[in-house]
Amino acid sequence: MADPLPPSSPPPLAKDPPSSLPWYSPSLDSISPAAREVLEQYSGIPAAEVIPHVLEIRALAFRIHPYPCIGQFRFLDLSLSLHPLYASLLRRFLSASAPTLLDLGCCFGQDIRKLLHDGAPATSLHGSDLRAEFLELGYQLFRDRPSLGGGGGGGGATFVAADVFAEGERDALRPLDGRVDVLHAASFLHLFAWEEQVAVGRRMVRLLSGKGALVLGRQVGSLRPGEYERKMGGGGSVYRHDGASFARMWAQIGRETGTEWRVEVQMEEGKGWDGQGRQWNDEYTRRLRFEVEWI
């Protein structure tokens, strides 16, 4: 097995991110019916206040770190609910033996709030993000701290600030080792280079409950897979996959952990929040949606 990577550090607090960043959308004219339903019915936000409320929270989050998914309001996609397996997953959550889910790199925990709104039991749902500030903004966005019991369990969904590369006592994810049946990782793996993604995959294996466990998500991919310059946050590179390279990576994870995986990938045209092409991406950029099963 390859040597573990050193623990990562949170990106520096952005003092005043320029609105000229190409992935920053300054306005929000409308949101999807699904996101509006969660904010109005689950969170109890009056219809006229939804968009101003979202804009206020987005502004706070973008000052913490100007991720494209925040600048483009991608957190309103509720991406897990768009996965082809969502309907079958929801049936499992509504059954007597609900699976345990971890949303790794959950940002505001928006996919967990969608699951809660759709009836999933809170005690089965866990979210983690490197930045505790994003978890706190999730409570503000969805106005549900009282109903979730502060996010630390005790009958509610659990949220924890965690570094996926941390080891030993610094590893806040250890209580979930061997317990996770469904691991959701959206807009997460693409933040790292190949070997870092493999290291994350090894950590996922320790979290998962065993054969039949699923890893689901979406991320930036490319028809020309390879290392790309990291455009923000300390230099270095990130790896963008196509279907073949993503399967090769999971084959490597399997060799290093003694596991086997079924890998399915869909490559899709990605659009900006306004439905137009993303000018900061090249012509080969695609959205990669994946389903990985431990077999």
**pLDDT (tens digit per residue) in 19-34:** 668 888 889 999 999 9
Query: What pLDDT is stored for residue 283 in this prediction?
Result: 87
Query: What pLDDT is stored for residue 231 in this prediction?
Result: 75
pTM: 0.90
Query: What pLDDT is stored for residue 256 in this prediction?
Result: 98
Structure tokens at 142: 């969805």
For the chain, the C-alpha Rg in angstroms (whole number) is: 18
Residue at token pair 């006229």: 48
Query: What pLDDT is stored for residue 11 in this prediction?
Result: 44
- Give pLDDT tens digits for 136-192: 999 999 999 988 865 555 468 999 999 999 999 999 999 999 999 999 999 999 999
Q: Report how far residue 177's alpha carbon sits from residue 196's, in angstroms, rounded to the nearest whole number.
A: 19
Query: What pLDDT is stored for residue 234 in this prediction?
Result: 66
Ranges of the chain with pLDDT below 70: 1-20, 149-155, 232-234, 270-280
- Closest among 291, 284, 281, 283 to 68, alpha carbons compared: 281
Query: What pLDDT is stored for residue 275 in this prediction?
Result: 46
Q: Report how far residue 240's alpha carbon sits from residue 23's, in angstroms, rounded to the nearest whole number.
A: 18
Strands 158-161 and 285-294: unpaired
Instruction: Write the DSSP symbol of residue 173.
Output: T
Q: Per-residue b/e over 119-130, b at no fewer than 16 CB within 10 Å?
A: ebebebbbbbbb
